Chains A and B, each alone.
Chain A
Amino acid sequence: MKSSSIITRMLRHEWLPLLLMAIAAIIVLALISNSFLSTYNLFVMLRILSVTSLVALSQMVVIAIGQMNLAVGAIGGLVAILFGAMLEIYGVPIPAAIVAAVSIGLLCGALNGLLIAWTKINGFIITLAMLSVFTGLTYGITKSIPFYNMPQALKAAYDSYLGPVPTILFIPVLAALGVGFILNWTRIGRHMLAMGGNPAAAELAGISTTRTMIFTHMLSGGLAGIAGVVAVARLGTAEPSIGADWLLASFAAPVIGGAALAGGHVSVVGTMIAVVLVILLENGLLLARTNPFYVQFFLGALILLAVLFNQWRVQQAEARRASSRAVLT
């Protein structure tokens, strides 16, 4: 009884087709390539996942309120080099540097949110401007030279195991649980989705859309900041170019995962599966020795396919809606 209800609940979820697709991709890749399931290759993918999952969530929360944060990568980059500077130049202890770095991310996000609130200018333009502001700061501070001397302890922590499990597996899991919890179980999360669904209705119902918006951008900045820190740990250097290539994946994953770009509806699980799917695609192309320059091409094709599939699914739901409406009255 219980198990059947779990299965029916699973079937209702929109991310199920994605999950099946990911599983199919894993099976296919395992069959065609011996090296796919090697510990080394799995670890390579896990390392990418540790950063990309955070980037995707960072964008997803802003999509939830019906806005966009083009500065996700720029915030990540700025946080990364400031984190590197703290460690290399000022010798700040790693935990303190992490806290400070993530706070900088929160601050950058808050700045985005406040600017949008004050100016009442579209978030797209504000974050586009801030993308340039943050990136400019990053390159200005570093003069484009990475901080190379990261403490050994940072690398070691990144590559450590908790029992049999690599520590970095906890990053996407905890981040997804955290964001999922906020969206589904807290007041502010409800406010975010309500605002994304219909800002006018949310405001009339006594929700402060300004506060909700600023909180969301802070959350986004914080997640981007964590992504920056993790990226430094992963690379072992704090490079100013960190974050430069995050934008595409940041939108691709939430959208493939079933988010409504207009806001009001996002799927944490869907987004995480989509991140995995994107990584599998890249990995598969790599294993198949495809010209790496074509990876972008295939990623684009994947996004198009996913969006078309989503649209088809929404139309199916519309047809059901029309029939249930007729029944109801």
Chain B
Amino acid sequence: MSALLTVSGVSKRYPGVLALDRVNLRLQAGEIHALVGENGAGKSSLIKILTGVISPDEGEILLTGKPMRFSTPRESLAAGIAVVHQERNLIPRYSVAENIFLDRLPTRYGVVQRWRMQDEARRWLDVLELDVDPATPVRYLSVAQMQLVEIGRALSLESKVLLLDEPTASISEHEVARLMGVLRRLRDQGTGILFVSHKLEEIINLCDRITVLRDGQNVCDAQPLAGMNKDDIVTLMVGREAAVTELGARAATIGSCRLELTGVATAAGHKNINIKAHAGEIVGLYGLVGAGRTELAKALIGLDRITEGEVRIEGQPVRIHSPLEALRRWRLGYVSEDRKGEGLILSHSVTRNTAITVWHRLRRVGAFIWGSLEKDFIRPLMGRLDVRAPGLDHAVGNLSGGNQQKVAVAKWLAADTRVLIVDEPTVGVDVRTKGYLHQLLWKLADEGTAVLLITSELAEMIQLADRIYVMNGYRIVGEIANSHDYDEMSEALMQIIQNDNDVRTRPVRAREEVEGHHV
């Protein structure tokens, strides 16, 4: 094995803080190398240096033995480093194919060869078994599909080094398994893969060696993963034993029916959806990417039309036309899967982001809002969620991802909802924050909220849900009580989806794609 990419003694200083302190990383050809650390440990800074987004203050980067200095992402790409960033970097109005080949559109006589481009894109989509038309504009895809397109884009570069920053954050178990297969194949062909993830199960399954960062320093440097378990990694990351408390089984006290869907069909394409969620219950909605879970949630809060069937909240038939009505009249809330796009106002303060759902209730004199009133209201929530911010007036965009997610959830705690739909609540947050958020969902349910949980992470679903509905192709295809046994449940859930796929001769395509053809 030869050293493909070597980082030695790299430091990066921001005013007042040392983000990276003489960090080393040795990536070899033909290995999958895990880079882990808590939020803010320096992973992102390191990746930004490797991809030319920022320059290091000191230290050296060697690519196949040659010293490199990237001042733009383009240079890093040209040198043979492909990357899938944590943030989405797609152009919404461009097609899947155009996004994949953005910087190297195949042309003849200066004219883009659309068909050739789409054929080539198809190839990479097939590798990931992503069933979308390469001509579909990216904006019609779900978050998970977009993520797979980005991975496809990185794969299509066929570079020597592949950096993946939280590539599985918003894709489901099924796609993760497929991605892992692809990555192993690439590794065997000699690609060096740097895999950044908060999901330790994946790391143990997939990676060969591990580099851990804590507070900008190496805790370990290219240590073989063989023989290490989850706890060992956590200990390295947080520096002490047992920072994650695995929750045991929860004895749910089930109350009256809060949310009931009977024969619901939506303009998004859902057919005959029957779901019940009771007070004190966490109901899971599991499915693969494009199964229609987020779309159902959005229809429920009035962002899309419900065309057939009946929705009842606390026994009363309801017709909800807007999120405003959902919140104020029916106390139904939705925590978005897209924290930055739909969850938070990044330039605004912690206070404003949290209090946004309660301004209508803060009225004391006319329509006036006093800052102190707001703060008194949210302070207990901040304590409860252990949000770490220098101050409540601090802009949310300045917080780490985990704390941002806590704020995104806190605003719905403030809203005091009776039914709360939680969509991918722990995307891209570290183990410790994840633990907090899990406990929080439990507490919410214990206090009598009906929680509808959408998550693509099977472990999370099996840990939290009391009952799980399985969704496939915009329909409910099964319902099972959760035994909290990972192996048993994962097999049962996969079986349900597999059976349904077998029954259908041809998979029902997502609405986005059908739309894509017409637009």
Does A185 sit within 8 A of B, measured CB to CB? yes
Q: Is the interface of A mostly helix, strand, loop or mixed?
A: helix
Contact of B17 (CB < 8 Å), options: A193, A264, A326:
A326
Binds A, one of B36-44, B67-75, B473-481: B36-44
The residue among A194, A204, A321, A327 with the most chain B CB atoms within 10 A of its own CB is: A204
B324 at interface, CB cutoff 8 A: yes
Tell which of A205-213, A228-236, A241-249 binds the partner. Answer: A205-213
Q: Among the listed A190, A208, A329, which residue makes an inter-chain contact with B40, where contact means beta carbons less than 8 Å apart?
A: A329
Does A203 belong to the interface (CB within 8 Å)? yes
From residue A327, how far is it (CB to closest CB) to chain B in Å? Answer: 5
CB contacts under 8 Å to B, within A159-188, are: 185-188
Point out the residue from A201, A320, A324, A328 that lies within 8 Å of B345, measured CB to CB: A201
Q: Is the CB of A206 within 8 A of B328?
A: yes
The answer to whether the Cβ of A125 comes within 8 Å of any Cβ in the partner chain is: no
Known: A207-B356, A319-B15, A326-B19. A185 touches B348 (CB 8 A): no
B369 within 8 A of A: yes
Question: Within 8 Å CB of A200, what residues of B?
Answer: 341-342
Which listed residue (B41, B345, B368) contacts A264, Cβ 8 A? B345
CB neighbours (8 Å) of A217 from chain B are none
Instruction: For B411, list chain A residues within 8 Å (CB).
Output: 205
Q: Tell me, in angstroms, the Cα distance from A181 to B347 when the chains sit together.
A: 20
Closest B residue to A316 by CB, please name it: B15
Smallest CB separation, B397 vs chain A (Å): 7
Interface residues of B in 358-404 (CB under 8 A from A): 359-360, 362-363, 367-370, 388-390, 395, 397-400, 402-403
Give residues 8-30 of B contacting A (CB, 8 Å): 14-17, 19
Complex CA distance for A201 and B336, rounded to whole angstroms: 9
Interchain CB contact under 8 A, B16 and A197? no
Interface residues as binary, B273-307 with A (CB distance below 8 Å gives 1, 0 otherwise): 00000000000000000000000000001010000
Indicate whether A121 reaches chain B with its CB closer than 8 angstroms: no
Q: Collect the chain B residues with CB atoms within 8 Å of residue A190's CB.
A: 352, 356, 359, 369
> With an 8 A cutoff between CB atoms, is B323 at the interface?
yes
* Contact present for A329 and B41 (CB under 8 Å): yes
Report the separation of the CA atoms of residues A202 and B326 in the bound assembly, to the nearest whole angstrom. 14
Q: How far is the CA of A124 from the CA of B415 in the complex (A)?
A: 34
From B17, B324, B368, B402, A206 is in contact (CB under 8 Å) with B324
* A201, B19: Cβ atoms closer than 8 Å: no
Which single residue of chain B is at the shortest CB-CB distance from A195? B345
Q: Let me know if A323 and B16 touch, CB within 8 A.
A: yes
Indicate if the CB atoms of B348 and A197 lie closer than 8 Å. Answer: yes
Assembly CA distance A324 to B396 (angstroms): 12
Q: How distant is B350 from chain A, measured CB to nearest CB, in Å?
A: 12
Residues in B with CB closer than 8 Å to A265 are: 347
Q: Which of B348, B360, B403 contacts A328 (CB 8 A)?
A: B403
A to B contact number (C-beta, < 8 Å): 124
Docked CA distance A190–B348 (Å)? 11
Residues of the A chain whose Cβ atoms lie less than 8 Å from the Cβ of B324? 203, 206-208
Shortest beta-carbon distance from B418 to chain A in Å: 14
**Given A264-B345, A323-B16, A329-B41: A187 and B360 within 8 A (CB)?**
yes
| CB atoms of A325 and B400 under 8 A apart | yes
Q: A194-B352, A205-B356, A325-B40 are in contact. Are A185 and B327 (CB under 8 A)?
A: no
B343 interface hit (Cβ, 8 Å): yes
Task: Enumerate chain A residues within 8 angstroms of B256, measured Cβ to Cβ.
Answer: none
B347 engages A264 (CB within 8 Å): yes
> Chain B, interface size: which category?
35 or more
Check: A49 CB closer than 8 A to any chain B CB.
no
Q: Contact between A325 and B367 (Cβ–Cβ < 8 Å)?
A: no
How many of chain A's residues have a CB under 8 angstroms from any CB in B? Answer: 33
- A327-B17, A328-B403 are contacts. A185–B359 as well, Cβ < 8 Å? no
A130 is an interface residue with CB less than 8 A from chain B: no
Cα A328 to Cα B391 with chains together (Å): 11
Query: Closest chain A residue to B329 by CB distance?
Result: A206
Identify A197's interface contact among B39, B42, B345, B415, CB under 8 A: B345
| Cα separation A325 to B216 with both chains bound (whole Å) | 12
How many angstroms between the C-alpha atoms of A93 and B106 in the bound complex?
72
A323 touches B216 (CB 8 A): no
Residue on A with the closest CB to B41?
A329
CA distance A323 to B20 in the complex (A): 11
- B442 at interface, CB cutoff 8 A: no
> B360 and A322: CB pair below 8 A?
no
Residues on B with C-beta less than 8 A from A205 are 323, 327, 356-357, 411
Q: Does B64 contact A (CB under 8 A)?
A: no
Collect the chain A residues with CB atoms within 8 Å of residue B360's CB: 187, 206
B326 contacts which chain A residues (CB < 8 A)? Answer: 206
- Nearest-CB distance from A168 to chain B (Å)? 29
Q: Given the complex, which residues of A lie within 8 Å of B346, measured CB to CB?
A: 197-198
On chain A, the residues within 8 Å of B390 by CB distance are: 324, 328
> Quick check: A201 and B15 within 8 Å, CB to CB?
no
CB <8 Å contact, B399 and A325? yes
Known contacts A324-B16, A327-B17, A328-B399; can you find 20 more A-B pairs with CB under 8 A?
A186-B369, A187-B369, A194-B348, A198-B345, A198-B346, A201-B342, A201-B345, A201-B356, A203-B324, A204-B323, A204-B343, A205-B323, A207-B324, A260-B347, A319-B15, A320-B15, A324-B17, A326-B40, A328-B400, A329-B40
Q: Which 6 A-B pairs have the closest CB atoms?
A: A329-B40, A206-B327, A197-B345, A323-B14, A323-B17, A200-B342
Which residues of A come within 8 Å of B, CB atoms?
Answer: 185-188, 190-191, 193-194, 197-198, 200-208, 260, 264-265, 319-329
Provide a sorted-by-A list of 26 A–B residue pairs whose CB atoms are within 8 angstroms.
A186-B367, A187-B369, A188-B367, A194-B348, A198-B341, A200-B341, A202-B356, A204-B342, A205-B327, A205-B356, A206-B324, A206-B327, A208-B322, A264-B345, A320-B15, A321-B398, A322-B14, A323-B16, A326-B14, A326-B40, A326-B42, A327-B16, A328-B398, A328-B400, A329-B38, A329-B40
